[in-house]
Amino acid sequence: MNIQSLHIKVSLSVAAAALFVVLLSSQFFYQRSYEKSFADSERSVQQLLETVQATAAIAAYVGNRELAQQVVTGLTQNDIVVGAKIVANKEIIGQHGRTNADAKQQLISISLNAPFDEKEKVGELAVVPNFPLIALRARDSAMATAIGLAAQAAVVALLVLILVYWMMTRPLSYLSGRLHRITPGDGNRLDVAGVHRGDEIGLLAGDINALLHTVETMLEEERQLRHRVELLETRFRGIFEDSSAGIFLVRERGTLVTANPAFFHLTGLTEIPQSATGDDNIIARVFLDHEQASSLIKLSLISKRPHSADLRIRTEQDNQVRWVHCIFSPAGNTQQGATVEGVMYDVTQRKYSEERIRELAEKDSLTGLSNRQAAESALEELIQQAPVGGKEFAVMLIDLDRFKTINDTYGHDAGDKVLVTIAARLRKLVRDSDVVARLGGDEFLLILNHAGNIDTIKRIAQKILDAQQAPIEIQPGVLEKIGMSIGIALYPEHGDNALSVRKHADQAMYIVKRQGKNNYAFYDPSDNDLPLTANN
């Protein structure tokens, strides 16, 4: 017997449900029947007392012990009473059977009133009920009710099982057996008995037959598609294997699916089977800019179109850094997740050439600082990136004092040495995020990004002036000191564009020149002749 069969499961479920219902209903009706029978017996005792109440009242009123004894003896003749007594004037005038002390049970009593004055109490009639007998009768009655309910529930459950088996389980078992013997594509179909045509079992069989037909159609189409795919695979595998560009397929998390020989040649990786790679993140392993590469992969999956960028890779064999132009395109989904196709071309020489050209275009050849063009571009970019009401930055325009005298006296080599020394000092006094540029001649420009408040800018300007107190050896044994005139303008306080900020820094610098040089000053928008702040 297969315990996993539908019939067994339904039988067990119905049996469990019936048992549960029987237990609940039997417990409920047993308790109710027991309480009702017990209450009926107590009511019978009460009615019995009321029957002899008048006679007992007369006996108590006249103090007739013989009559009282007859009353209590008659009461104990009933099987639900095991003892009785009559009390008059706090004295027992009649008693028969057990007392409450002997039976250790609760008495049921009734007051006895005078025959001619119902308000006058003359005594009390009390009986000891036969509680064991009463309880036994109540249990018997309750048990009979519970057994009757259980029998009815069992009969109903059996009928339900029989109906379920003949109307549902047996036809479904037949359909299941027939379906197991059918192989998709052999042309066989399920047949249904006439009694089930139009009901759910008949509809199920019809849907299964329709599904079998669809499967046969799909199998035929798949055979044709497989033949076409084999032809295309043979054609494109040659392109894939012989391409000079690195072609690879990765999943969203960077796991390598496959790659062509050119990919392994560019990256220096050893060609290993996919089963050996495990969950290795090839993107993090190959690309130095792996976060950018991962972002391009996610972007291509979200936008459903290719995305490209120049990225750096490190070859594993010789540990060299190379530049590749990488194109990521969505390549569909597999059981393991979405896949992306990557194509990479080696553009190392092109990138190095571009960097060299950019360096020559943006660097000062003597000092290695940014030149005028690079400084202006950095200033424009910083203004475009600064949010409205965001942190301000400062522009310092620096002109060297006594530079022309030194250059004319000792020659251009000495002047060049001064410029190189000053450039090194300025670069050392500011942060890497700040811009230090030589605009030409002896003029320098500093852009202090996120400079904070004016006090911070003052401290930086004073540090620059203090650093120039150290003399410069322009020739062997010849030392000279160089002073500086520094003009400072703040963005956006002193201008909302690059031209105005530079112009106002230049105005502040010339005020320092006129007031004695070797100092710094902030641009004062209210007075073009006096600086806002100066180191006096």
Q: How far is CA 528 from the centre of its chain?
A: 61
Distance CA 251, CA 297 (A): 9
- Strand residues in 274-320 grouped as ranges (E): 307-314
Pick the residue with more confidence: 132 or 363? 363
Q: What is the pLDDT of residue 202?
A: 75
Q: What angle do CA 128, 129, 133 make, to 5 degrees?
A: 140
CB crowding 383-394: b at 16 or more within 10 Å, else e: beebeeeeebbb
Tell which residue, 444, 441, 365, has the closest CA to residue 403.
Answer: 441
Distance CA 517, CA 510 (A): 9
Yes or no: say if 364 and 414 are a contact pair by the CB < 8 Å rule: no
Work out the widest C-alpha separation in the chain, in whole angstroms: 160
Q: Is the pTM of this model over 0.85?
A: no
DSSP 8-state symbol, 71 = H
Distance CA 202, CA 53 (A): 77
**What's the first-to-final CA gap in the chain, in angstroms?**
107
Least confident of 28-32, 67-71, 248-252, 318-322: 28-32
- Per residue in 74-114, pLDDT tens? 888 888 888 888 888 888 888 888 765 554 557 788 888 88
Q: Is it the case that residue 487 has pLDDT exceeding 90?
A: yes
DSSP 8-state symbol, 532 = S
Confidence band, pLDDT 50/70/90 cuts, at residue 159: confident
Pick the residue with more confidence: 526 or 59? 59
Distance CA 330, CA 303 (A): 9
Q: Who contacts 255 (Cβ-Cβ below 8 Å, separation ≥6)?
A: 277, 279, 280, 281, 282, 336
| Average pLDDT score over residue span 448-463 | 88
Pick the residue with more confidence: 508 or 222? 508
Distance CA 151, CA 504 (A): 107
Q: Who contacts 320 (Cβ-Cβ below 8 Å, separation ≥6)?
A: 314
Return the C-alpha torsion angle 322, 328, 334, 338, nearest 10.
100
Q: What is the pLDDT of residue 7?
A: 63
The Cβ-side half-sphere exposure at 137, using a 13 Å CA radius, reads 13
What sign does the dihedral 361-365-369-371 (CA atoms) show? negative
Pick the residue with more confidence: 49 or 173? 49
| Average pLDDT score over residue span 24-48 | 78
Confidence band, pLDDT 50/70/90 cuts, at residue 527: low
Query: Chain-wide mean pLDDT for the chain?
Result: 82
Q: Is it the case that residue 21 has pLDDT exceeding 60?
A: yes
% of the chain residues with pLDDT over 70: 90
Structure tokens at 471: 């003399």
Least confident of 99-103, 124-128, 384-388: 99-103
Q: Is it the case that residue 327 has pLDDT exceeding 90?
A: yes
Q: Given the structure tokens 């202090």, which residue do they identify?
A: 448
Q: Is it the case that residue 269 has pLDDT exceeding 70?
A: yes
Query: Residue 348: left if φ>0, alpha if ψ -120 to 50, beta else—which one?
Result: alpha
Q: Is 275 helix (H, G, I), strand (E, B) or coil?
A: helix
Least confident of 107-121, 485-499, 506-520: 107-121
Q: Is it the case that residue 170 has pLDDT exceeding 50?
A: yes
Tell which residue, 518, 303, 326, has the closest CA to residue 403.
Answer: 518
